[in-house]
Amino acid sequence: MFAHLSLQKGLAGEVQREEVQGFIDQALPELRKLKGFKDAYVLQGEVMAIFTLWETQADQKASASFVGPAVEQLVARRKIATPEQLVFEVAAHALDLRP
């Protein structure tokens, strides 16, 4: 399994809440249609983070065809810096490690 983490600085308060709702209403339904999509978390705080899980590295890489344009639209709309994008291989998952 592979994880993608997008860290967006420059969004605060109500703007973050609006973008979270936009993610829920617009992006999440589209992500669910993509091959290998497993789950997503949206985190709010000093930065807004979107954490997605993918079945394979190929699935995660293929998601860029949807994620890339969505990020570009956010950056243009909010006039903010491009988010930091990180990809990880999941080394352990607590639900899989239950006794």
In 3D space, the residue among 85, 78, 47 whose CA is nearest the CA of residue 63 turns out to be: 85
In 3D space, the residue among 20, 12, 15, 21 whose CA is nearest the CA of residue 77 turns out to be: 15
Comparison of pLDDT for 26 and 57, the residue scoring more: 57
Q: List the CATH number of the domain containing 45.
A: 3.30.70.100
How far apart CA 74 and CA 51 sit, in angstroms, is 16
What does the pLDDT look like over 12-45, one tens digit per residue?
Answer: 788 888 888 888 888 899 999 999 999 999 999 8
Q: How many domains does the chain have?
A: 1
**Domain ranges, residue 90:** 2-97
Helix (H) or strand (E) holding 19: helix 13-22
Averaged over 39-63, what is the pLDDT? 93
Helix (H) or strand (E) holding 2: strand 2-8
What pLDDT does 9 receive?
Answer: 87
The whole model's pTM is what?
A: 0.86
What pLDDT does 67 receive?
Answer: 85
